[in-house]
Amino acid sequence: MRQTTLKKSITIEGIGLHSGHRMIMNIHPAFADTGVCFKRSDVSCEYTKVTPYTVTSTMLATTIRCGEQTISTIEHVMSALYGLGVDNAMIEVSGPEVPILDGSSGPYVQKILETGIKELGKPRKYMKFNKKIRLEKDGKWVEILPSRFFKVTFDIDFDVETIGQQKAYFEVNPETFSKEIASARTFGFKREVESLWQMGLAKGGSLENAVVIDGNDIMNPEGLRFKDEFARHKVLDLIGDVSLMGYRILGHIRAYKSGHQLNNLFARQLVEATNSYSLIETQEESPALHQTLELKPQGLA
């Protein structure tokens, strides 16, 4: 399989979750071996290639360093690019955060599929893990096991009837990501959202871009998109966070109650565990990339 990029540039506009300001994001095609790079278009800033080490904060979202500036909430667009198999892209954002849109990767997926993906002239590189690697912290854990494909299993456990214990498992490829993962929305509790508002955060947060829970009730009038939407969104976030390693992953990641901080620490640990993986350039694809380009994410109009 060769590396990929977008067929042409796309523009996405939307509210920033924390500032509440309108953000414009342009995603441009890029040459092979570029990876995914970000820059701020509102200030003087060079493109910065994302890695686990460009992450400066994991509070409420994944934030990266971009020159002397920062860009936050990158995990949903990163998850969309990885999930659809886009290896190279140059992303410009008109402010300090990526548009939150509906709180999922779905709108990004839709735009990418409408635009199309093209192959480039160099082979894609994969991290093939041959040993188990595990990270535990504060009763939470994440690990990777050897596998021929990229798989994710995520367990969550909330002391709230609406969520409770949920488990999501996927073999991640463009088809499963588009249909089963992309449209799962971020979620939060009403009391926490109100507290964030008092702190001057989450100014753009609303029922239009998050599932909000009040006690044991879902406040969103349309309800959930999946019965296990909460666990599926955790899978989405995890994919976005580990995608910063810059390679396709051959391994089964299993996580329990992990979040952005643990995801990032785990991605750094994986990169540094050089005796536990090999870099290879050939791998079976299932399904073939061109067979997925017309798929529409479930739950979206």
Q: Is 294 exposed, middle or buried (0-12, 13-18, 19+ CB in 10 A)?
A: exposed
Q: What six digits make up the tokens of 37?
A: 């790079």
Sign of CA dihedral 99, 102, 104, 109: negative
Q: Residue 193 corresponds to which amino acid?
A: V
Give the start-end residues of each E strand in the chain.
Answer: 2-6, 10-15, 22-28, 36-40, 48-49, 55-57, 63-66, 69-71, 89-93, 117-123, 126-129, 133-137, 140-145, 150-157, 165-171, 187-189, 211-214, 217-218, 248-256, 277-280
Q: Which one is catalytic: 18, 233, 252, 260?
A: 260
Active site residue 260: yes
Neighbours of 215 (CB within 10 A): 11
Give bridge partners of residue 184 from the DSSP assignment: none
Taking the alpha carbons at both ends of the chain, their separation in whole angstroms is: 31
By annotation, the residues acting in catalysis are 260
